[in-house]
Structure 1
């Protein structure tokens, strides 16, 4: 059996209705895990779960606003009841609102803090309470948080976003330490994705043009590729495979780590 085989594992992926989250859900399912997609986009989320079911996977959908404590409680309870436990949580849901620091909109920053930081913190909280000894699942597990290459480099126009993704990195490491100290049996790691040409990634490139930082979205993308030793943008599969690795037994002695999946951009 491969160390990447997740047969019998139960996973929850936040922001799993589209983009990187959908790719992560697909990759976990392909590795054998039962997967619940948690998202505020109900139509897309249900369609994604149905597509996974048609591929032969055990899958479901739950409406999950990651900033809402009651939504987290309901989502985790649904996973335990319908899947029979919870072994993997991927805190992927996030928002990116570009802007120059000199023109900073506090409402935009608060929105990113709420989703990207509070949302991940609540995910850690409820995953711990479910997976730790005495919890409803109670057999340990793995949490993978999605940070960003923005947490490891300086790039104009994304100051607020970079700050929130840096916070995800710190939350990951503190959570890993607490889990170990308290005997939870839960590994906690994060990934730093590079730019991926999803809707969110391409909007970011367009924002760079709109902010006057590059003459075109294409030029902004070219800047990213030029800074990347592997000479290309990332693909959803690049990021999803890294998450599967960190969730699997191949990473059984890895916790509190941040894995760059950025083609070398953040080195």
Structure 2
């Protein structure tokens, strides 16, 4: 087991990519602190982990709220004695241009996607240092480098997250804490299915999306989780400050998913 006795916080772990990361980390021996603002899905996933034999707890957390993040970190310490790994995965999105995005919407997206990662890192880093070091992985997006129309706040938040990753890697190197980003492209999650369902022609939207996938398929949560597992494992002991694209080479081909414009 590559993560035996390691304590891992996974934000946004109730479903989708976060849930997949929690499952694979748990199978590799990690103790999971699953954080999510959605109590129903968070507790359900935590119960599933426990049924599978994983030591896991759920902490309802809005990562954009400093007090709630501090409570999350303290709970992890009280329950498991410390923190070794942080996965900043919690995210929200708004499909609007800069002109159409309200200030409240901007604040929410930046607050969860970027400020949330900052807060969780700020309060986790001293605790990870106490354990002799560890790893942080920020779940960014291919939108940090290439994007599409009407995604102003989300693209800005993910671009900021990869920049924060590079900078934190410098500060955390002397602490023996590695900081990396994983950038998924199109991944089969409940959120993606909801997006397709909202289209006038869901099947056509899916078909057009597949056209941009060199492998002929979209990504799975397992694809992303396995990349994260590598990044937090000893196999990546000298990897820090990097942004890993997990996109099946789609970023080299994509122009725009037509149905989303």
TM-score, structure 1 as length reference: 0.89
CA RMSD between the two structures: 1.6
- Name the CA shift for 1:149/1:246 in 2 (closer, same or farther; >3 Å): same
Counterparts of 2:15 and 2:82, CA distance in 1: 24
**Deviating more after overlay: 79-88 vs 6-15:** 79-88
- Name the CA shift for 1:218/1:167 in 2 (closer, same or farther; >3 Å): farther
User: Are residue 217 (structure 1) and residue 202 (structure 2) matched?
Assistant: yes
Q: How does 1:114-193 map to 2 (within 5 A)?
A: 114-132=111-129, 137-180=130-173, 183-193=174-184
User: Are residue 82 (structure 1) and residue 75 (structure 2) matched?
Assistant: no
- Name the CA shift for 1:156/1:216 in 2 (closer, same or farther; >3 Å): farther
Partner of 2:217 in structure 1?
232
Pick from 60, 65, 68 the counterpart of residue 63 of structure 1.
Answer: 60
State the Cα deviation string for residues 94-133 of structure 1 (Å, max 9, x = none): 001112344333322221011111001111111212112x
State the Cα deviation string for residues 128-154 of structure 1 (Å, max 9, x = none): 12112xxxx432110011001111212
Pick from 186, 194, 200 the counterpart of residue 195 of structure 1.
Answer: 186
**Structure 2 segments unaligned to the other structure (5+ residues):** 253-261
**Structure 1 segments unaligned to the other structure (5+ residues):** 210-214
Pick from 247, 250, 259 the counterpart of residue 265 of structure 1.
Answer: 250
CA contact (8 A) 2:84 2:131 kept: no
TM-score, structure 2 as length reference: 0.91
Partner of 2:28 in structure 1?
31
Structure 1 residue 167 displacement after superposition: 0.7
Counterparts of 1:35 and 1:56, CA distance in 2: 11
**Deviating more after overlay: 99-108 vs 37-46:** 99-108
Structure 1 residue 199 displacement after superposition: 2.0
Counterparts of 1:9 and 1:138, CA distance in 2: 10
Structure 1 residue 13 displacement after superposition: 0.3
- Name the CA shift for 1:92/1:252 in 2 (closer, same or farther; >3 Å): same
Structure 1 residue 74 displacement after superposition: 1.4
Structure 1 residue 206 displacement after superposition: 5.0
User: Are residue 52 (structure 1) and residue 49 (structure 2) matched?
Assistant: yes
Counterparts of 2:90 and 2:230, CA distance in 1: 19
**SS of residue in 2 equivalent to 1:178:** helix
